[in-house]
Structure 1
Amino acid sequence: MMEILEGFPGNVVAVRASGKLTREDYEKVLIPAVETALIGRDKIRVYYELDTDSVSMEPAAAWEDLKLGMSHYMQWEGIAVVTDHQWIRHAIDVLCFLIHGQVRTYPKSRVSEARDWIISELTRKTIRLT
């Protein structure tokens, strides 16, 4: 399941993910939010907050995620991922060179720092904060 988080500026798409992510989560929640945020903007930022429970992804959802990322490759200004899943944080650290914008990962204990960073001036390419 994916839900939009409120309280972020218009250039930030903020979502919380939990349980099993499906193609419908992308088609009905994330993709429309990204398209709306891009109206009148060259770049946007994304804030992902992953629940501490198990988060998994259907293959069709992974395909939608890849398509979304590639179709807007030059429009990602910054991405903050908040999770206590070490494997997700490590995967992002390894693959962040594939993302055009700045990327930071944060543990759940630093959620307010992640929120502050995604709405602030972005200054560094990739940092993993533990």
Structure 2
Amino acid sequence: MIDYREIPDTNIIEFSIDGKITAEEYHKFAEKALAFFEKHKKVRILKEIISFEGFDFAIFKERLLPDLLRHQGDITHAALVADEKWIEQISSMITPAFPCRVRQFKLNDLGAAREWLRTAKEDSIEVTSDSKGNCMCFKVTDKLTHHDYEHVLIPTLEAVIKECGKARMLVDFGKEFHGMEVHAMWDDTKFGLTHRHDFERMAIVGGPKWSKWAARLGEAMMPCEVHAFAAEDYARALEWVNAPIKSEVGAKS
């Protein structure tokens, strides 16, 4: 069974799955969801899986299925509410392939899932007030996407490079980093290769366990200093990324 709901005056839809999904139920769901996508263009979704007992294979012949799949890129945020571990594991495996920001909640946390879906920011990265001169400071608050690189990170840094010649960058992952879209990883690689000589220093603060490894790799690939700092060492990272480079100190003395 699929129970479909639209939240008034928002771009949020919810649907609950309980038991087996029939082809007829899926068709009705697809019709309503497609109409909602056409109306709102960008949509946030809450998927509650109370129980799952399979689906009719006739769903693969559903004529609206291709249209629905084409709208995957129009989902900006998705809350998955389920207790089954295997559902969470599948979600974690496929999430990087899509641009939407995803959070997983237990069934008894339905209220928290709705609150997150309602209040989550559109962008996952922002320029902070600690930015000054040729040093740009970024705060990451969710999953990094192609949109974040295309509309925030890349144009900000390219403007600084154009104006100052060289840039410095601090990225604060904090505790809200939730991975990267595959397209964003490619954006990061291309930008790094294009501007590998345009940076003086880079500081990575907090983030996943691989952030220190990424800092070492970055320092090996780019002719600038790249350091990783613990989340609680933000102030030290900010001081370091803004400090004069040794050659600058020697030139001034």
In which range does the TM-score fall when normalised by the shorter chain? Answer: 0.7 to 0.9
- Name the residue aligned to 2:143: 20
Q: Unaligned regions of 5+ residues in structure 1, if any? A: 124-130
C-alpha distance in structure 1 between counterparts of 2:143 and 2:207, whole Å: 17
Deviation sequence 1:77-128 (CA, Å, 0-9, x none): 10000015322213322452012211111001111010011111134xxxxx
Deviation sequence 1:48-96 (CA, Å, 0-9, x none): 0002134300010011111111111111110000015322213322452
- Name the residue aligned to 1:77: 200
- Name the residue aligned to 2:172: 49
Per the alignment, do residues 121 and 87 of structure 1 end up closer, same or farther by CA in structure 2, a change over 3 Å counting?
same
**1:100 corresponds to which letter in structure 2?**
P
C-alpha distance in structure 2 between counterparts of 1:40 and 1:58, whole Å: 30
- Name the residue aligned to 2:63: none
**Length, aligned pairs only:** 124
- Name the residue aligned to 2:224: 101
Per the alignment, do residues 94 and 44 of structure 1 end up closer, same or farther by CA in structure 2, a change over 3 Å counting?
closer
Question: 2:171 is paired with a residue of what secondary structure?
Answer: strand
Task: Kindly report the root-mean-square deviation, in angstroms, between the aligned alpha carbons of the 2 structures.
Answer: 1.8
Bigger shift: 18-27 or 3-12?
Answer: 3-12
The two structures have a TM-score, normalised by structure 2, of 0.46
The two structures have a TM-score, normalised by structure 1, of 0.86
Bigger shift: 40-49 or 85-94?
Answer: 85-94
2:190 to 62, 67, 77: 67
In percent, how many aligned pairs have the same letter? 26
Moved over 6 A (4+): none
Contact 1:21–1:56 (8 Å) recurs in 2 = yes
Deviation sequence 1:4-23 (CA, Å, 0-9, x none): 11132220121111321100
- Name the residue aligned to 1:6: 129
- Name the residue aligned to 2:236: 113
C-alpha distance in structure 2 between counterparts of 1:104 and 1:53, whole Å: 20
C-alpha distance in structure 2 between counterparts of 1:54 and 1:39, whole Å: 29
Question: 2:179 is paired with a residue of what secondary structure?
Answer: strand
C-alpha distance in structure 1 between counterparts of 2:157 and 2:214, whole Å: 23
- Name the residue aligned to 1:126: none
Contact 1:13–1:45 (8 Å) recurs in 2 = yes
Higher relative contact order (CA 8 A, sep 6+): 1
Q: Select the structure of larger CA radius of gyration.
A: 2
Question: 1:21 is paired with a residue of what secondary structure?
Answer: coil
Q: Which has the higher strand share?
A: 1
Bigger shift: 85-94 or 41-50?
Answer: 85-94
